[in-house]
Amino acid sequence: MRTLICGSMAFDTIMVFHDHFKNHILPEQIHILNVAFLVPDMRREFGGCAGNIAYNMKLLGGDPVIMATVGDDFAPYAERLNNLGLDASHIQRVAKTFTAQAFITTDLADNQITAFHPGAMNFAHQNNVNRATDIQLGILSPDGRQGMIDHARQFSEAGTPFIFDPGQGLPMFNGEELLAFIQQADYLTCNDYEAKLLQERTGQTLDQLAKQVRALIVTLGGDGSRIYADGQMHEIPVAKASQVVDPTGCGDAYRAGLMAGILKDMDWPTVGRLAGLLGAIKIAERGGQNHRFTWNEIVDRFKAEYGYSI
């Protein structure tokens, strides 16, 4: 399962404010906002869509190849990839930049204030999909704007099947650009909010969009997911999580399961269930890359969860 994972590599700095933002942000003073939050709890996680997807693909026994651009501060992440045995040969360092990173402050009501610095991600177009060989399936996840445009075209011209996963990058594109992505892609995946935005910007319904790809996958969080394929709409039930700790990276885990199911030529209801199971495993751990599993454990848990074998 040699796959090409195009997208962001990022550091996530997550801080917890032991109070509620509403007690410190006064609506009548919003025009002169100047607040500081004491955050006694802080952790730094390895993240980014490409990093998270590749991490899960490796656990599934795949051979993921990461294609991304990173900054001068990438050394700790590079060491981690090496220890995990992940292929970093197509990760390009851009001098005098930072690796993309998010600074997230969460209050006691789980409200979040996030600042995101794209850094080296803005240079994603310096990579070329054609430099990676023997790729069976690719995925185009959120990245630099021009990089996403170029990589979609390169996947299409090379005849390499790929999943278009616009994610939080979707607002960067207008309807015409989004339709161009979809026409080049083989599969399209998004969450329910992104699906609404996609319809609004393209002027097309999900049924219309689904007819332009082999499958359209819409994740619904705690309500499971839906897969539109072969003229049908498959309702995928949510997998049970042992505990709900942190949703960060659940979508990326789902996409790794999606890719594995496609490569193993599973039917769509099974593909969706496998993907959902990975999301349920991830949500029980903090961060996007702290959960663990083996393929044999997945097989056993799948049968226990859904009553049949993969």
Is the Cβ–Cβ distance between 50 and 109 less than 8 Å? no
pLDDT score at 111: 85
Let me know if residue 278 belongs to a domain: yes
Closest among 239, 177, 189 to 214, alpha carbons compared: 189
| Domain count of the fold of the chain | 1
Helix or strand holding residue 82 (H, E)? helix 75-84
Domain CATH number, residue 78? 3.40.1190.20
Say how far apart CA 226 and CA 272 lie, in whole Å: 8
Closest CA to 134 of 93, 94, 89, 165: 89
Tell me whether residue 54 is exposed, middle or buried, using C-beta atoms within 10 angstroms of its C-beta: 0 to 12, 13 to 18, 19 or more.
buried
The conformation of residue 281, written as its DSSP 8-state character, comes to H
- Domain containing residue 271: 2-25+39-306
* Maximum distance among all Cα pairs of the chain, rounded to whole angstroms: 59
Tell me if 31 is assigned to some domain: no
pLDDT at 189: 98
Confidence (pLDDT) at 33: 85
User: How high is the mean pLDDT in each 10-residue block of the chain (310 residues)?
Assistant: 96 93 86 90 95 98 98 98 97 98 89 91 98 97 98 98 96 98 98 96 98 97 95 96 90 97 98 98 94 97 96
Q: Is residue 72 part of a domain?
A: yes
Two tokens, residue 222: 């705690």
Instruction: Quote the CA–CA distance of 141 and 5 in Å, as a whole number.
Output: 8
State the number of CA atoms in the 13 A half-sphere of 164 facing the CB.
34
The reported pLDDT for the residue numbered 109 is 85
In this structure, is residue 30 part of a structural domain?
A: no
Look up residue 192 and give its two tokens.
């329910």
Q: Which two tokens mark 175?
A: 């309807």
pLDDT of residue 275: 98
Assigned domain for 33 exists: no
Residue 1's pLDDT is 80
pLDDT value of position 247: 86
Which pair of structure tokens corresponds to residue 20?
């509620």
Residue 32 domain flag: no
DSSP character at residue 174: -
Within a domain: residue 203?
yes
